[in-house]
Amino acid sequence: MTAPLLSVRNLSTRFRTERGTVRAVDGVSFDVAAGETLAIVGESGSGKSVTALSILRLIPDPPGKIEEGEILFEGRDLLKLDDAGIRAIRGDRIAMIFQEPMSSLNPALTVGMQVGEPINLHRKTVWAKALDKAAELLGKVRIPDGRSRLSSYPHQYSGGMRQRVMIAMALACQPQLIIADEPTTALDVTVQAQILALLKELTREANSAMILITHDLGVVARYADRVVVMYGGRIVETAPARQLYKTPRHPYTRGLMASVPRLDGDTDRPLVPIEGQPPDLATLPPGCAFAPRCKEAADRCRSERPPLVESAPNHFSACFFHDRLAS
């Protein structure tokens, strides 16, 4: 079998706070194959974004720290690279699209300078040619008359256009892996669909893998090949997207699906919210983190942490009752 492009093994990231140690990512492991789209889903605070920032070693230290694990990209452990080594990979081999472009783009620099910078930095291309490439990239992400828009500043673009600029920056050096962290959070529904379709199309053209971080299972159904479901800093279920939707094997995944509106004509099915609150990562319970909110929970769930096991071919879940949920 071909080795995965990215292999995350037993990744644990902690933050020191006044209330104690927050276990934001706790023993997370997953693979991403070349050309694959992997979605990481879960509520706010589940560890999705911290996992992405850990891959690129963007965790602020202090208060954060990657305490253990391996992040193997193209056979190299990113956690063992020096600062120059990881900077050479960021924006070149791995690119990230952040969830709020207005805070990610530099308001004092023109869009052309920001899109052209990765090309100038990583490809050692002179600025005149880097700006030519930047204009081409703006056209590729469907920004009309890209050449004339190079001299504009981020505040002169709409929210959807700024997100397209972020995609252009991410694609500038044709990376092998793109991490998109909630790339459509601040956009209206129509623009969301356009951005996600564009992102999927362009990554497919470049044969780039993508990690799509989202809380929206509706997005996942359309764009992802495989899904990782996180809760309380841990992976609770992972499977191919179609398989996960057909037979979810963790109560949390089932709860997420029950809270998503249906567009298949089943208007009589009510939306069912997940009762309770997400766990406090500084005081996680000794057993399953979802147990306080789970209608299936038994005494064992409250005292013993369920391992992530293969409950069906290529389908892993961390629930003692996964067989009962699948029936």
Q: What is the pLDDT of residues 175-195, one digit of tens each?
A: 999 999 988 776 777 777 888
The whole-number average pLDDT for the span 89-99 is 91
pLDDT of residue 264: 56
pLDDT of residue 68: 94
pLDDT of residue 1: 59
Strands (E), 1-102: 6-17, 20-32, 37-41, 64-73, 76-77, 94-97
From the list 20, 71, 21, 28, the residue with the least C-alpha distance to 46 is 28
pLDDT of residue 37: 94
Reading the block at residue 261, the tokens are: 């509106």
Four-residue CA torsion sign, 151, 154, 156, 160: positive
Q: Is the pLDDT of residue 267 over 90?
A: no
- CA 190 – CA 180 distance, rounded (Å): 18
pLDDT of residue 261: 66
- CA 140 – CA 198 distance, rounded (Å): 9
Q: What percent of the chain has pLDDT over 70?
A: 95
- CA 258 – CA 270 distance, rounded (Å): 8
Please report which confidence band the pLDDT of residue 275 belongs to, taking 50, 70 and 90 as the band edges: confident
Neighbours of 164 (CB within 10 A): 24
pLDDT of residue 223: 87
- CA 72 – CA 7 distance, rounded (Å): 5
Q: Is the pLDDT of residue 263 over 60?
A: no
Q: What percent of the chain has pLDDT over 90?
A: 61
The whole-number average pLDDT for the span 190-210 is 85
pTM above 0.85, yes or no: yes
Name the average pLDDT for the chain. Answer: 89
